[in-house]
Amino acid sequence: MPFPPPTAGYEDKPIGDSIIDYLQPRPTVLPYKAPNDLSVAGINEGDILMCEAARPPANGSIAIIAKDSERIVVKLHWHKGKWFAETDFTKGAITDAIEYVALVRHVIKDQLA
């Protein structure tokens, strides 16, 4: 009767399963292609963003907002009772005309760009 290998019972799951579990822990987390650069967060246009719409924003978080049906990746700041959005080119207060779409949880870099 042969002896079992010393690694018996310590086998890893296939990496594909664990990455999907990590990047998409809930069905509410969905992929979204970055429409613009945000160098503060290391996001380039074309990167894949794992976003969660059900999660509320926090100070300093990266989010997707919509203004005039155009979606933009921004860094959010809470200051004196108001939300402010920062992109690579502008900073400003979020008004009623701007809609919060989703919070960015993870970034998958586009290695081919």
pTM, two decimals, is 0.75
Query: Given CA atoms 73, 74, 75, 78 in this order, what sign does their dihedral have?
Result: negative
Q: What are phi and psi of 83, to 5 degrees?
A: -90, 140
Which two three-digit tokens encode residue 60? 């300093």
Which option is the CATH number for 15-108: 1.10.580.10, 2.10.109.10, 3.30.565.10, 1.10.10.10? Answer: 2.10.109.10
pLDDT in tens, 20-50: 677 777 788 888 889 899 998 899 988 889 9
Which two three-digit tokens encode residue 30? 């969905």
Domain coordinates in residue numbering, the chain: 15-108
